Amino acid sequence: MSGLDAAVAAVALLAGLTGTWSPCGFSVIETLGPTGHRGGRALAIVSCLAFALGAPLGGVVTFGGLAAIGDLAGTGGRLAFLLAAGLAVAAGLADARRAPIRPQIRRQLPEPWRRRLPMPLTGFLYGVLLGLGFTTFVLSFGLFALAGVCLSVGDPSLGAIAGLAFGAGRALPVLVIGPFVDLSAGIRMAAAMAERPGIYYGFRLGDAGALGAVAIALVITPHVAGADESPALARAEPVRAAAADPSAYGGTLVVQGRRQRGLIRRRGGFELLPGTDPAVGGPYVAVLRRDNIVLLLRPSLREVASYRAPGVREVAVSGSWLVWLTGRGRGRQAIRMRRILHRAHPGRVRTVARARPPVLLGRPSLSNGRVAFTRASPRSNAIRVARLRSGRVKTLLVSHTIALGSPTLAGRALLYVRSAGRRQQLRVRRLGRRGSRTLFARRRRFGTFWTTAIDSRRAYLTVLRFGERGRAKSRVLRVGRR
Amino acid sequence: MKPGESEAYHLCGHTYTTGSCLHPLGEPRVDSRGFPLSASGGHPVDNLGRRVDRRGRPVDNDGTLLRDPDGRPLPPAPRTRICDETGRVYGFDGELQGGWYRCCFGQVRKLWDCCAYSGRRINGDASLTGYCYGGRRVFCVTYYDTRIPC
C-alpha cells in the first residue's frame, strides 16, 4: 500500500465515522439495536453485521465508480493530481475550522423499510445506502474531497480502497454500539455522541489532518503524481515512415518496412534484413523466412540458427527463449515457445496460449523469461503475462469497456496502448506495482496507436492512418521514457 | 412530507398527528433516558416544571440552589420519565420504543414514541403503529435534541 493509499484510506475511514453523527447514523444504531425491534440482542447482532456488509459495498460502488469514470476519462495527469491536492487542502481547512457542511444533502433513510422488511435485510440495505455516501446527510468535507481525489487519480483500486475504508468507518460505530444500545454503557456512549459535539469535531479535525497527508502524497510522490510525464506527453519524434511493428533491445532497433521486410537501424539509416517481421532480444535478431524463424547474431547479422515454425506470423526472441504467434486471425491462433539456450539443441515446442475466433491473440513480447500478449474478444480485452519456465499465465490488465493492447516488456516495465472513446494513451507500468503513467496521448484523429516497443531509454509506437478501402499507412514514432 | 428539516404537527420533525406526552412545561423534550428537559434551554426539570440540578434539587435560572428562608435547599420533587408519567395518568404501561432522527433547526433531533398496548392515543382517537413494535402503538410523542449540527 502506497502513502497515497494509506492517506486516502484514513480520510475515508474518518469521513465514514463522522457520518454516524448524522440523523441517519443515529437512527441506524437505535433501529438495528435491541431498542428498535423485539428480536433481542441476537437479531441486533445479525442486523448490525448485515449493515457492516452493506456499507463497504456501497462505498466501493461510489468511490470505485468515480475512480473508474476517471480512469475511462483518462484523468491521472499532473494537473488532475494538483487539482485534487488543492481540493483536499480546501476540504481539510474547512473541516479544521468546523465550517457548516455546504451543500448539505437533506435526505434520510427510508424509515418504512424497518417495518416492512426483515431486520437483517433492512440493516444490509441501510448499509448500502449509507455506504454510498451521497444519498443522505454529509457530516464532513472529507467526503467531497475523497470523491474528487478518486475521480482525479482515476485508479479503480484506489477507489476500492476508499470505498472499503469509508464503509468500515460507517459500520464501526454501528457494530460497537448498536448491539448494546439498550444497556447502560450503550446508552452512555450514544448520549456522549449526541451531547458532546467535541467528539464529532475531533474526528473532523483528524479528517483534516488526513486530508493534508493526501495532498502531500499527491504532490510529492513522483511515481504516483506523474511528475515526470509532462515532457514525454508533449513530444514524439518520427523514426521512420512506411514502417511498423518496432522491436528494440540494447540500442538496436528493428522495424518492418514495406511488404513486411525487416529493417535494422544502422549508421543513421535503415538496412534490409534477410527476412520479414523482425524482432530483437538478447544477442539475436530474429526474422521470418517462409515458415522458419531465423536467428542472426547482433551486430554482425551472421545467421546462426533456423527453426521450423509452421504458420508463424510474429516472433519475439531473447537470449534463452523464442516465442512466436501462429495462425491468422480467421483461424485458430496459438502462442508457442521453445528454449534456445543451446541453439543446436533447442527445447521442445510448447504452447503458451491458444485462441479461436472471435478471440484474437496479439504480438508477443519477451523479457526476463516472461512473455506478454493481448487476448482480445468482443467481450473484453486483456493483457496477459506468462512465465515461460512454469507456464503460469496471469491476467495483468483486463477491461470490458476499453481497448487494451500491444504490450511490450522490458525488464519489469510493461508498455501498452489503452484506448477509450477517441482518446488513446501509450502507458507504462511496473510489473508487481499498481498504477501506470501515460507517456504519450493523442486523440484518434492523430492516427490509431498500434504496436509498441520499449528499451531502457525509449518507447516506440506504430501509428496507423487509414486511407481508401481500409488500407493503413503506418509510421513509427519514438517517445522518451523520462 | 419530506424528511430532513421538517416541520409538521405541533413540533419539528413529527410527521404524524399524535399529540405530545404530558410534560411539566408543555413541549415534550426529554433527555437520552426519557426524563423531562426544558424546551428552551434543555435543562433538567422535575415533575413540577422547576429547573433542577444533577441531584434533582430545584435551582434558579443561573443554576443556583433554591433555598427556603432558613437557608435550607428546597426539597426535590419527583422527576419521572414523561412516558411513564403519561401512562400513570392515563392508566397504561408506557414504554419509549423506536425512535427516528431528523434535522430540526440545524440540529439532529430524535423523535421518540411513547408506546402502549392501546388502540387509542392521547388525542382520544385511534392510534397508529409509528415507530412502535411488538404490538404496541403510539400513545404520545416526545423528542430528544442532540447537540450535533446538521
The complex's ipTM works out to 0.86
Q: How far is it, in rounded angstroms, from Cα A110 to Cα A135?
A: 11
Of B2, B31, B108, the CB nearest to A26: B108
Cβ of B33 within 8 Å of Cβ of A187? The answer is: yes
Alpha helical stretches, state H, A268-363: none
Of B2, B133, B150, the CB nearest to A23: B150
Q: Is the pLDDT of residue B2 over 50?
A: no
> Where in the sequence of chain A do the CATH 2.130.10.10 domains occur?
231-480
Nearest CA in chain B to A21: B148
Of A24, A104, A194, the CB nearest to B148: A194
Q: How far is it, in rounded angstroms, from Cα A397 to Cα A418?
A: 10
Chain A residue numbers with beta carbons less than 8 Å from the beta carbon of B136 are none
Alpha helical stretches, state H, B31-141: 82-90
Q: What is the pLDDT of residues A35-65, one digit of tens each?
A: 889 889 999 999 999 999 999 999 999 999 9
Cβ of A107 within 8 Å of Cβ of B33? The answer is: no
Is residue A20 a contact partner of residue A177, using CB atoms and an 8 Å limit? no
Cis peptide before A103 (omega within 30 of 0): yes
Amino acid at B58: P
Q: How far is it, in rounded angstroms, from Cα B42 to Cα B45?
A: 9
Q: Which fold has domain A231-480?
A: Methylamine Dehydrogenase; Chain H (2.130.10)
Query: How would you write A154-190 as a 3-class SS string?
Result: CCHHHHHHHHHHHHHHHHHHHHHHHHHCCCHHHHHHH
By the 10 Å C-beta count (0-12 exposed, 13-18 middle, 19+ buried), B68 is classed as exposed
The torsion angles phi and psi of B142, rounded to 5 degrees, stand at -135, 175
Q: How far is it, in rounded angstroms, from Cα A157 to Cα A278?
A: 37
Q: A261-266 and A413-420: which strand pairing?
A: unpaired
Nearest CA in chain A to B108: A23
Amino acid at A2: S
Nearest CA in chain B to A20: B148
Q: B20: closest CA among B121, B125, B106?
A: B121
Of A104, A107, A195, the CB nearest to B147: A195
CA distances, A160 to each of A8, A13, A59, A137, A150 (Å): 11, 13, 8, 22, 9
Residue B143 sits at the chain A interface (C-beta within 8 Å):
no
Q: What is the pLDDT of residues A299-335, one digit of tens each?
A: 889 999 999 999 999 999 999 999 999 986 567 899 9
Chain B residue numbers with beta carbons less than 8 Å from the beta carbon of A35 are 97-99
Helix (H/G/I), strand (E/B), else coil: B57: coil
Question: What percent of the residues of chain A are helix, what percent strand, and what percent coil, each to the nearest 5?
Answer: 40, 35, 25
- How high is the pLDDT of residue B7? 47
Is residue A29 a contact partner of residue A174, using CB atoms and an 8 Å limit? yes
Chain A residue numbers with beta carbons less than 8 Å from the beta carbon of B4 are 23, 106-108, 137
Q: Which of A20, A27, A116, A182 to mutate to test the interface with B (most CBs of B within 10 A)?
A: A27
Q: Which grid cell is A96?
A: 479544521
Q: How many C-beta neighbours within 10 Å does residue A234 have?
A: 9
- For the entire predicted model, the pTM comes to 0.64
Q: How many helices (H) and strands (E) does chain B have?
A: 1, 3
Is residue A234 a contact partner of residue A49, using CB atoms and an 8 Å limit? no
Chain A closest CA to B4's CA: distance in Å? Answer: 5
Alpha helical stretches, state H, A23-118: 23-32, 40-59, 65-73, 78-96, 113-116
Amino acid at A41: R
Helix (H) or strand (E) holding A414: strand A413-420
> What are the residues facing A317 on neighbouring strands?
A322
DSSP conformational letter for A64: I
Answer positive or negative: Cα dihedral of A37, A43, A46, A50.
negative
Q: Which of A38, A108, A117, A140 to mutate to test the interface with B (most CBs of B within 10 A)?
A: A108
Residue B100 sits at the chain A interface (C-beta within 8 Å):
yes
Q: How many C-beta neighbours within 10 Å does residue B8 have?
A: 13
Query: Which portions of chain A are predicted below pLDDT 50?
Result: 222-234
- How high is the pLDDT of residue A107? 86
Cβ of B133 within 8 Å of Cβ of A36? The answer is: yes
Cβ of B146 within 8 Å of Cβ of A22? The answer is: no
Q: How far is it, in rounded angstroms, from Cα A75 to Cα A155?
A: 9
Of B32, B98, B134, the CB nearest to A194: B32
A226 Cβ contact list (under 8 Å, min separation 6): A76, A77, A78, A81, A437, A438
Chain A residue numbers with beta carbons less than 8 Å from the beta carbon of B150 are 22-23, 104, 137, 139
A22 Cβ contact list (under 8 Å, min separation 6): A136, A137, A138, A139, B101, B108, B150
Q: How far is it, in rounded angstroms, from Cα A94 to Cα A88?
A: 10
Sheet (strand A312-317) strand order: A312-317, A321-326, A333-339, A350-355
Residue B55 sits at the chain A interface (C-beta within 8 Å):
no
Chain A residue numbers with beta carbons less than 8 Å from the beta carbon of B31 are 191
Q: Tell me what the mean pLDDT of segment B89-115 comes to.
A: 92
Q: How far is it, in rounded angstroms, from Cα A92 to Cα A206?
A: 9
Nearest CA in chain B to A183: B33
